[in-house]
A = this chain, B = another copy of it.
């Protein structure tokens, strides 16, 4: 099977943002070419893994020299489509929701949170980072956004997901700590902070050095 087939393995996709962050940093430092070993030192991902991942995107490496940063940045940016605008709405403006709403790092990746929703009358109408918090019950039937971010407490997560899906959202980033039941047409990525801590703790207790993700 050709490695240049369109189907890029999921673990490779999951590493692309790490490479992209690293390449941005190198470019900011006016570096033009980078070796897989340097990428490995900076990201904690094995050099051989990086080379294998890159092989899915065509022959970028220059034998004995390394990878041209501008070209690689452009290629990965295109794959992840970070140069386009991707609109998101966020439901649940608690501390985590506020942290997400205030986070300046999303724009570099093409993401813009356009609407904030909550059910707390004390929050509705107030602003976070220039965005007015709207009543979850006033969510329109058709949201002009592609991504829904769920940062409500666990017990409200499922009905929030249903509401977002009913409003046309088909990609959900789920911080609620519970698995969501959605139709097959909806893509869900669940980030559970307890799980991250549990995985770190395992590697710490067993002293098995994980690949950085």
Which residues of A pack against B, CB within 8 Å? 7, 10-11, 13-14, 16-18, 20-22, 42-44, 79-82, 86, 88, 94-96, 98-100, 102-103, 105-106, 108-111, 146-147, 149, 154, 170-173, 177-179, 184, 187-205, 207-213
Contact = CB atoms under 8 A, between A and B. Distances in A.
B95 A204 contact: no
Contact of A200 (B95, B108, B147): B147
A61 to B, nearest CB: 21
B203 A13 contact: yes
Nearest to A199: B14
15 contacts: A13-B203, A16-B199, A17-B195, A18-B192, A20-B198, A21-B178, A43-B179, A80-B202, A81-B202, A109-B198, A146-B204, A171-B203, A187-B203, A189-B213, A190-B212
Contacts of A154: 105
Nearest to A177: B105
A5 to B, nearest CB: 13
A173 B193 CA distance: 10
Given A198-B17, A201-B111, A98 B95 contact: yes
B198 A189 contact: no
